[in-house]
Structure 1
């Protein structure tokens, strides 16, 4: 049995759990396609999905890759390698930035004030507070992340002795 698993791993490139998970994902995707097959708006949904994939790959990915590279250079300092604490600092910036970005994309029409008449007709409410709330939530996420990082850095400093400006590493 282990020889067959080793052969699968060599041929597939990952272990059996990954292959089973991918089969499960394809099954869920197939179920969604079958559910949408009879929908009148399935063409519009497909167009939206393709547009989302293309805009992510051609616009969003290059943008956040450039921002991440600049952030790594800023944290790295003067030619030093990125150590564990610097990686931790990067992650304490990346995670709230990712959450703020996802929230921005989810609430994009409300934040930018698009289709305000449709929203008001459907709910009877204004879209005015979306931008302020998104900014407040994003600021809160960064504040929580910075607080957690400072606590971790202080614990490391207490255990290790004198730290550098950005933590260990």
Structure 2
């Protein structure tokens, strides 16, 4: 066992899990390609091209713009949350909202014909609900950002801080004036 761990770099359980995941991926690939192989290949290539040529530059430019807006720091000498930390309070709710839109877009954009007749539910509510969920995600993120900023600007008090302040104020022993 020790020789395997030294050669592989991880435990035998890790190796077993990696091999199982490869087997599962191979099984899924075989099952996926048994139907319309050309359609699946075209879909994968189209998705890769759409992502690499359209979506990646779009969300990179958007991310840079938001970093530029949120990246400005105060110069008053106060501690503040770094720009890399602040940007995540916009990235996370935007990612979750867009992921929900991607997964549920047929219902949100009312692209499912016959949905009310199959389910006896109205299809008109999904757009408003997605907007409410998105607003709630951004509101919760704003509250988390406010709490993080409050923590960084809150005055630190306690025994450790008082001792450090006293040391700064007291003249050093042995120093000539």
TM > 0.5: yes
Q: 1:73 aligns with which of 63, 68, 71?
A: 68
Structure possessing the higher radius of gyration over alpha carbons:
2
Change beyond 3 A, Cα 1:104–1:31:
same
CA distance in 2, matches of 1:126, 1:50: 36
Count of residue pairs brought into register by the alignment: 146
1:62-101 pair list within 5 angstroms: 62-77=57-72, 84-101=81-98
Q: CA deviation at 1:120?
A: 3.3
2:45 is equivalent to residue 50 of structure 1: yes
CA distance in 1, matches of 2:132, 2:42: 33
Q: CA deviation at 1:35?
A: 2.5
Contact 2:116 2:122 in 1 (8 A): yes
Cα-to-partner distance string for 1:86-125 (whole Å, 9 max, x where unaligned)? 22110111000110111111111222222x3243343333
Equivalent position SS for 2:122: coil
Unaligned runs of 5+ residues in structure 2 are 158-177
2:154 is equivalent to residue 158 of structure 1: yes
TM-score by length of 1: 0.68
Q: CA deviation at 1:60?
A: 1.5
Higher relative contact order (CA 8 A, sep 6+): 1
Equivalent position SS for 1:107: helix
Q: CA deviation at 1:45?
A: 4.3
TM-score by length of 2: 0.66
| Greater share of residues in helix | 1
CA distance in 1, matches of 2:43, 2:114: 19
Equivalent position of 1:134 in the other structure:
130
Say what the alpha-carbon RMSD is for the aligned residues: 3.2
